[in-house]
Amino acid sequence: MKKIATIHNPYDEKFGIPRQSGLANEILSTIVFEKEYRVAEALRGIEEFSHLWLIWAFDRTERETWSPTVRPPRLGGNKRVGVFATRSPFRPNAIGLSCVRLVAVEKTREEGMVLKVAGADLMNGTPIYDIKPYIPYADCHPEATGGFTDTTRKRTVRVEFAPEAARNLTQEDQHALAAVLREDPRPAYQDAAEREYAFSFGGRQIHFRVAGDLLTVHAVGEVREKPSAGPAEEAKI
User: Tell me, what's the pLDDT at 231?
Assistant: 42
pLDDT at 62 over 70: no
- Which range (16-20, 130-134, 161-165) has the least confidence? 16-20
pLDDT at 19 over 80: yes
In angstroms, the Cα distances linking 171 to 165, 177, 222 are: 12, 10, 19
User: Tell me, what's the pLDDT at 78?
Assistant: 80
Per-residue pLDDT tens for 71-123? 887 887 788 999 999 988 888 998 999 999 999 999 999 999 999 999 999 99
What are phi and psi for residue 147, nearest 5 degrees? 55, -140
Domains of the chain: 5-139 (2.40.30.70), 158-222 (3.30.2310.20)
User: Tell me, what's the pLDDT at 214?
Assistant: 94
Q: How confident is the model at residue 235 (pLDDT cuts 50, 70, 90)?
A: low
- The chain-wide mean pLDDT, for the chain, equals 90
Per-residue pLDDT tens for 172-212? 999 999 999 999 988 777 777 789 999 999 999 999 999 99
